[in-house]
Amino acid sequence: MSYGTLWGACRALLARDLALLWRRRGDALNPMLFALMVVALFPFAIGPEPQVLGRIAAGTVLVALLLAGLLSLDALFRSDLEDGSLEQLVLSPHPLALLLACKIFVHWLTTALPLVAIAPLVGEMLFLPGPVQPVLLAVLALSTPLLSLIGAVCVALTVGMRRSGMLLALLVLPLYVPVLIFAAGACNAAQNGLPVAAPLLWLGAGLALSLVLAPLACAAALKISIS
């Protein structure tokens, strides 16, 4: 008889969620296409002047990514709640918070990471000044997991309700604003040749804090929604 290990449980969950995403790969691509469309439409609406576009490039990419992440957020725990998988997760002998952290990781991996990967290309498209490029990448690497973690807590709180989409947006946006402010602050500082360490460190601190606390909060909220 084998009782399975925590690592085995996390691996099984990661494998299952990735397999599920592969089955729904058309839907999984939606956020990425959305972000690309937003970024591609800006030059048409504002005009092709490199100075203007270069000025707004970083902010445009940040907002597009933030909204794209919001698109897929609502589905994070919904199907698990509706088909009873969540009950099985809660009843499993492993810490729920860690299992949920795996789910959030998959969400980040499949919605945010591809966008971070194409960010240099998008930056080039919008005439993002060269020195800002690495800063934008660093900002995205720190802020996208933070957004996924914060979003997951809000989803866990609202998933038990019907038609929770609007409520979710209302809950999430105020919490996203500080992240956006620090992220944009770093990009602006880089654009003006100022040091960027402070906002990046703030984002890093936020990420460290939410890496620890967000899965615990998710676990507590989801236990309430299945009872």
Partner 1 sequence: MNPDPDTPPLLEARGLAFARNDEPIFGPIDFALRHGEVVLMEGDNGSGKTTLLKVLSGLVEPSAGAVLLNGEPLTLARLSHQVALLGHLLGLKGELSPLQNLRFAIGLGGLRAGITPNQALLSVGLEGFEEVPLRQLSAGQKKRVALARLLLVPAALWLLDEPYANLDREGIALVNRLLEVHARRGGAALITSHGAYAYTSGTPRRIPLKAVA
Binding site for partner 1 (CB under 8 A): 1-4, 8-9, 11-13, 15-16, 19-20, 23-24, 79, 82-94, 99, 223, 226-227
Choice between 90 and 180, CB closer to partner 1 = 90
Choice between 23 and 212, CB closer to partner 1 = 23
208 CB contacts (<8 Å, ≥6 apart)? none
The rounded Cα 39 to chain-centroid distance in angstroms is: 18
Choice between 24 and 208, CB closer to partner 1 = 24
The residue whose two tokens read 């498209």 is 125
Shortest separation between residue 69's beta carbon and partner 1, angstroms:
23
| CA-to-CA separations, 78 to 85, 202, 206, 217, 225, in angstroms, rounded | 10, 32, 26, 17, 11
Shortest separation between residue 72's beta carbon and partner 1, angstroms:
16
The residue whose two tokens read 């925590």 is 6
Choice between 21 and 141, CB closer to partner 1 = 21
Shortest separation between residue 109's beta carbon and partner 1, angstroms:
18
Shortest separation between residue 101's beta carbon and partner 1, angstroms:
15
DSSP 38-90: HHHHHHHHH-S-HHHHHHHHHHHHHHHHHHHHHHHHTHHHHHHHHTTHHHHHH
Cα 205 from Cα 130, distance rounded (Å): 27
Choice between 74 and 80, CB closer to partner 1 = 80
Shortest separation between residue 105's beta carbon and partner 1, angstroms:
16
